[in-house]
Amino acid sequence: MEKNASRREFLAASTAAVAAGSAIAASAAEPGKLAIEGGEKAVGPAPKHARWGEAEREQLSKVVDQPSLMYWKGPQTTLFTERFKATYPFEHSHVCSSGTAALHIAVAAAGIGPGDEVITSSITDMGTVIGVVFQQGVPVFADLKPTTYNLDPEDVARKITPKTRAIIAVHLGGNPADMAALRTLADQHNLALIEDCCQAWGALDRGKPIGTAGHIACFSLQQSKHITTGDGGVVASSDPKFGPLLQRFGDKGMDRSGATGGLFHEFATNYRMSELQSAFAAAQITRLEKIASNRARAGNLLTTRLADLNGLTLHDVNAADRCTYWFYMLRMQPSAFRCDRAKFVKALAAEGVPAAAGYIPVPLYGNPVFQKHAFFAGRWPVKELGLTDMDYTRVRLPETEAILDTCIRIAINEAMPDDHIEAIARGVQKVARHFAV
């Protein structure tokens, strides 16, 4: 009897253990349980993202048969320029070595000189302001709109002084800035309006190609941009005053048309693009519309799927525009969750959501080079000469700083189909609901 009892007890215990194990396995696979706590991941592997192929190979092979790799009247640069103008109908365009170069060319063509002020965003790449500083101009940072992450026209208006000469609007993440309001300000105060379109290939501003609302548009072909040559850029304009100057300011001040008889009327650096880069770009730009439309679809779908979540402020795009989402950015309202941003993003990453906390570490004015006014061998000549009283240690932009403290970036690209975006949305929903207050 004791043996039978022991056997019954053993079988009962074994059955209970198996049941408990099954329950644990079921719990681990439960969709509502966070992956960081042993649950099932919401997002599978990202689809392969092939950015170039036979079209680029074919175009590059043609360069080998050319006698010259110089951009001027080169067949590849000519072809890329033609294809660029088919999408962006500017009267004047100049291919150059980077988006930073394009912006430097633009501010030089706009006549920025010692002590001139240029109003722009402080959440952007350093390349937006490098040209301003090298022209001995003074970057003036304006605050941003809280959900578009672009310049707040009202704060731009407050920053205009008698020294202001230009505005650089940055279309951050491919989201068009409020160009109608900025153009009105520029026209009222006789300012040059430059568009930094480096993150906004294929974006549409009220249905029109990005860059066409201002006086000069600047594009980047850096490795991470929508289309690329590794590094490269384009600067373009239809303005009769600025447009004819672009080529000169990207080519050491030389007028290649011969109108100046070889004499130099402008002082400029060498920002030329080679035929090899132009060949690659000529192939890349044929992919642009598909890239732009796919990214727009993906970002808009993500917004739709996340719209019912409390505590998250989503990337705000005007219904009349097309944002091409170089990244998707949302903001986390700390009081709405039982965790900080770092833990929230760690949980997202565990779910397979391609998320990162923040964007740049500090606003541009918070970088040591600005805080110390140490632009030229540790010095800033325009300040030493009394041409500006700008003190970047005193600059504070509340919304800008709040954006960087609360934003979360999600990487999306044109290769992601709807079901992958849906999975990313489920991952965000899962984490947000788990940590909701």
Active site residues: 225
CA angle 178, 183, 188 (to 5 degrees): 135
Among 428, 408, 404, smallest CA distance to 307 is for 428
Residues forming beta bridges with residue 408, ordered by sequence position: 330, 357
User: In terms of C-beta density within 10 A (0-12 exposed, 13-18 middle, 19 or more buried), how is residue 263 classed?
Assistant: exposed
CA–CA distances in Å: residue 215 to residues 78, 151, 183, 239, 315: 23, 17, 9, 6, 27
Contacts of 69 (CB under 8 A, 6+ apart): 63, 274, 275, 276
User: In terms of C-beta density within 10 A (0-12 exposed, 13-18 middle, 19 or more buried), how is residue 190 classed?
Assistant: exposed
Rounded to 10 deg, the angle between the 75-87 and 54-64 helix axes is: 140
Q: Where are the alpha helices (DSSP H) in 127-197?
A: 127-134, 153-159, 179-188
User: In terms of C-beta density within 10 A (0-12 exposed, 13-18 middle, 19 or more buried), how is residue 111 classed?
Assistant: middle
Is residue 60 within 8 A of residue 280, CB to CB? The reply is yes
Which pairing describes strands 208-209 and 204-205: parallel, antiparallel, or unpaired? antiparallel
CA–CA distances in Å: residue 370 to residues 362, 365, 395: 11, 5, 10
The number of residues making up the chain comes to 437
